[in-house]
């Protein structure tokens, strides 16, 4: 029968070698190195860049901030392009200030099934700071979706443009479309043009509403490819909702109108 002392001697010989082959100190050093490698593979795994769509809200922003944020602005990370602003919606706040809903396209870091941008975890409800060319803005994240998770649907939208020059009406033709990446994302399917109205004040101070001699009110019916965010639909970052503005960019002209109906 082997005693515990004999068993230990069989494992570690008189020269301190494990099973007579490996020095016990070298063995523990090897185990330590292997643990470092395993932990390093887990925690130092290279970050993967993924394209995401993100919406954030900036509350009660000054007119200066609102003026210096535009669709197409480049987002920077370590002085390199890391995304861009794809849509803006301005809502009333206190005084002349605005609440701003910003839609972004970002290239985020994916690590251990979590998303990061500039070392900030991207999670709904978290605050996010982003650097633009002229300003740094901070807001609360409202929505996040990876490129492959984004959901789109066709919506019919009626847009009104008031008191426009007649040449604008001429350049907006049924069948004209807006393209993005070679794909059609909006199309004019109907158009109605009426004389615009103007206020005329007589010499006696009476106020009259008269037809404008040249300007027009234009009503467009559009079919747009809108992105579904939560229970709402967005186009160019603006929610498709009566009273909100909608921007259309055809090959002939860029226009902005007020949404009066959505189907």
pTM (2 d.p.)? 0.57
DSSP annotation of 12 reads B
7 pLDDT above the threshold of 70: no
pLDDT digits (tens, 9 = 90+) for 191-246: 999 999 999 898 888 998 889 999 999 999 999 999 887 778 888 877 899 998 88
Q: Are residues 100 and 117 part of one domain?
A: yes
Full domain range(s) for residue 89: 48-149
More confident: 149 or 52: 52
5 pLDDT above the threshold of 60: no
Q: Are residues 102 and 18 part of one domain?
A: no
pLDDT digits (tens, 9 = 90+) for 57-95: 999 998 888 888 888 888 988 888 888 988 888 888 888
The whole-number pLDDT of residue 67 equals 86
Beta-bridged to residue 3, according to DSSP, are none
d(CA 85, CA 249): 16
Q: Structurally, how many domains does the chain consist of? A: 3
Q: Are residues 160 and 135 part of one domain?
A: no
d(CA 240, CA 254): 18
Q: Are residues 250 and 167 part of one domain?
A: yes
pLDDT digits (tens, 9 = 90+) for 10-39: 555 555 555 555 555 665 666 776 777 766
The whole-number pLDDT of residue 170 equals 94
Cα–Cα distance list, 129 to 20, 80, 250 (Å): 60, 16, 33
For residue 253, give the 3-state DSSP assignment: coil
Q: Are residues 73 and 39 part of one domain?
A: no
Q: Are residues 32 and 93 part of one domain?
A: no
The whole-number pLDDT of residue 81 equals 87
Residues 6+ apart with CB under 8 A from 157: 221, 222, 223, 224, 235, 240, 246, 259, 261, 262, 263
């Amino acid at each position: 029968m082997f005693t515990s002392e004999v068993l230990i001697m069989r494992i570690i010989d008189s020269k301190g070698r494990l099973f007579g082959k490996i020095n016990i100190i070298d063995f523990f050093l090897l185990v330590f190195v292997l643990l470092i490698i395993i932990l390093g593979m887990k925690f130092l795994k290279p970050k993967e860049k993924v394209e995401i769509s993100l919406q954030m809200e900036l509350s009660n922003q000054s007119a200066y901030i609102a003026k210096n944020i535009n669709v197409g602005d480049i987002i920077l990370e370590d002085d390199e392009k890391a995304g861009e602003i794809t849509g803006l919606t301005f809502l009333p706040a206190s005084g002349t200030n605005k609440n701003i809903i910003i839609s972004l396209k970002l290239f985020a870091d994916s690590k251990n099934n979590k998303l990061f941008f500039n070392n900030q975890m991207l999670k709904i409800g978290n605050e996010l700071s982003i650097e633009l060319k002229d300003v740094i803005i901070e807001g609360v994240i409202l929505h996040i979706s990876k490129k492959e998770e984004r959901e789109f649907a066709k919506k019919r939208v009626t847009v009104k443009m008031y008191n426009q020059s007649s040449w604008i009406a001429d350049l907006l033709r049924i069948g004209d479309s807006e393209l993005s990446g070679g794909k059609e994302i909006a199309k004019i399917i109907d158009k109605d043009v009426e004389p615009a109205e103007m206020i005329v004040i007589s010499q006696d101070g009476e106020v009259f509403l008269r037809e404008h001699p040249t300007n027009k009110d234009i009503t467009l019916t559009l079919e747009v490819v809108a992105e579904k965010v939560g229970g709402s639909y967005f186009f160019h970052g603006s929610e498709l909702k009566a009273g909100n503005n909608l921007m259309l960019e055809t090959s002939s002209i860029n226009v902005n109108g007020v949404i009066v109906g959505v189907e």
